[in-house]
């Protein structure tokens, strides 16, 4: 599973990344977490409000920081 965090390095993006890592750890699944910081690449997903969570190339969450529990739902 490939998880991408879209965001230009703002505080919320870091929080989302941390939450995503925690969710992966708690679920005990195999997943790589990548950060997408260039806004051209972010736009390619159609996302206009960061941070956003992309799981296997699908935008799951945008414009808010979901909780660890929240993210888990999208990783199952």
Partner 1 sequence: MFAWLDLLIQLLVEKVFKISMSTRLGSSIHFFFYDTIKIVILLALMIFAISYIRSYFPPERTKKILEKFGDITGNIMASLLGIVTPFCSCSSVPIFIGFVEAGIPLGVTFSFLITSPIVNEAAFAILLASFGWKIALVYVITGVIVGVIGGILIGSLHLEKEVEEYVYQIQTGEVEIEKMTAKDRAKFAWDNVKDIVKRIWIYLLIGIGIGAIIHGWAPAPVLAKYAGPNNPFAVFVAVVLGIPLYSNALGTIPIAEALINKGVGMGTALAFMMAVTALSAPEMVLLRKVIKPKLIAAFVTITGTAIILVGYLFNAIAHFLV
Nearer to partner 1, 11 or 30 (CB): 11
- Give residues 9-28 in contact with partner 1 (rule: CB under 8 A): 10, 12
By CB under 8 A, is residue 1 in contact with partner 1? no
73 burial (CB, 10 Å; 0-12 / 13-18 / 19+) is exposed
Phi-psi region of 19 (alpha: psi -120 to 50; beta: other; left: phi over 0): alpha
- Output 24 or 47, the one with its CB closest to partner 1: 47
The span of 18-26, 28-36, 48-56 binding partner 1 (CB under 8 A) equals: 48-56
- The token pair at 41 is 């690449």
Residues with catalytic annotation? 10, 13
């Amino acid at each position: 599973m490939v998880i991408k965090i879209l965001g230009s390095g703002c505080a919320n993006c870091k929080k989302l990344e941390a939450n995503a890592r925690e969710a992966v750890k708690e679920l005990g699944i195999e997943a790589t977490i990548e950060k997408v910081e260039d806004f051209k690449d972010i736009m390619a997903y159609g996302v206009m409000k960061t941070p956003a969570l992309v799981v296997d190339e699908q935008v799951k969450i945008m414009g808010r920081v979901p909780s660890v529990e929240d993210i888990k739902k999208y990783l199952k």
